[in-house]
Amino acid sequence: MKRRDFIKGVGAGSILAGVGGTKLANAETKYKWKMVTTWPKNFPGLGTGANNLAKLITAMSGGRIQVKVYGAKELVPPFEVFDAVSRGTAEMGHGAAYYWKGKSEAAQFFAAVPYGLNAQEMNGWLYHGGGMKLWEDIYADFNLIPAAAGNTGVQMGGWFNKEIKSLKDLQGLKMRIPGLGGEVLKRAGGTPVSLPGGEIYTSLQSGAIDATEWVGPYNDLAFGLYKVAKFYYYPGWHEPGTTLEAIINKKAFAALPKDLQIIVKNACKVVNQDMLAEYTARNNAALHTLVNKHKVNLKAFPDTVLKKLSKLSDEVVAEVAKKDKASNKVYTSFRKFRDQARAWHDISEAAYMRARSL
């Protein structure tokens, strides 16, 4: 049998034992992966972003990796995605890092920080400012490899059934708001609740919560939140450019040949950018529908409220940094990058936005 025929004859799904006992996957080995997500199946932007990631990995690998996507509750409940991928029930997951603060406080920095980095700055920090390495180190303890895989841009402040004129109006308010933003609300006298997206509408409708934030016009319109709340506030001080994540089981990733590893990571990068482009393209049309068709009362938080929330946010974020070594390390890097990004963006992006609005 010629060597060429031998390799051909090995066929799909097989593993060749290589030199020195290392296992080498041949070019025809097929990998079947499951991707569990925290989003309702096919939910616009978030769920479809996860679908795009799966399709892209399959297409870029020429079908060598097949990824099947599971919406929230199809395989595991939304908030069990992290554990499911960590233990290998699924090879991949798609969600947001602030859902896992119970696993690691520092994880929250990789989704959204109140008054923190916007989308452009998050990508700068992660890809060129040392953020990615810190994220990888933290998730390594959970047998996971993280990747940025989507960004919503600046979110909206949320849906309320009363006007927010001062910080007092937040007192006693039971609001769905995840991560560090929730901690800030608590500091302002409110009660933060963490709920997966699919449970927001009914919770607000039943009165289990008084207010909610979700994402922005494109996603909030899809959930019909305008039917159960009167006022739609901006800006999303608590989520200035939320990074969505892909998590990959370390063992499953290590089993891939190098070229497929590169494909998986770069497919995440493509989706990270593409999702932000989608939100940028769709948000304003959705806002138009909310305001003009559904008569939503659009309101800006008063400057006095925003200033106080900013102060509380700085306190909350600095306190997280004191909780453990990893959080302190991430906070130090994040803070340094934010100061530098702000100095540059004050005279570039922000100055331009101002010029355009004159």
Q: State the distance between the two ends of the chain, measured CA to CA, in whole angstroms.
A: 77
Please name every residue paired with 92 in a beta bridge, in sequence order, or none if there are none.
35, 248
Among the listed ranges 42-50, 77-85, 114-122, 150-158, the one in contact with Ca ion (CB under 5 A) is 150-158
Scan residues 236-275 and list those touching Ca ion (CB under 5 A): 239
Which CB, 105 or 213, lies closer to Ca ion?
213
- Which of residues 183 and 213 has its CB atom nearest to Ca ion in the complex? 213
Of the candidate spans 59-67, 154-162, 218-226, 283-291, the one that interacts with Ca ion by CB under 5 A turns out to be 154-162
How does strand 191-193 pair with strand 211-212?
A: unpaired
Contacts of 317 (CB under 8 A, 6+ apart): 113, 114, 116, 180, 331
Give the residue from 158, 162, 160, 190 showing the smallest Cα distance to 174: 190
CB of 301 to Ca ion, least distance (A): 15
Closest distance of CB 38 from Ca ion, Å = 12
Q: Which residues, 6 or more positions from 175, have their beta carbon under 8 angstroms from its beta carbon?
A: 158, 182, 185, 190, 191, 192, 193, 209, 210, 211, 212, 213
Report how far Cα 76 is from the mean position of its chain's Cα atoms. Answer: 18
Shortest separation between residue 354's beta carbon and Ca ion, angstroms: 26
Residue closer to Ca ion by CB (options 142, 214) is 214
For residue 45, the minimal CB distance to Ca ion (Å) is: 12
Mask of contacts with Ca ion, 190-219, x by CB under 5 A? -----------------------x------
Supply 93's token pair: 């997951």
CB of 332 to Ca ion, least distance (A): 25
DSSP 143: T
What is the pattern of x (binds Ca ion, CB under 5 A) and - over residues 30-69?
Answer: ----------------------------------------
- Contacting residues toward Ca ion, per CB under 5 A: 155, 213, 239
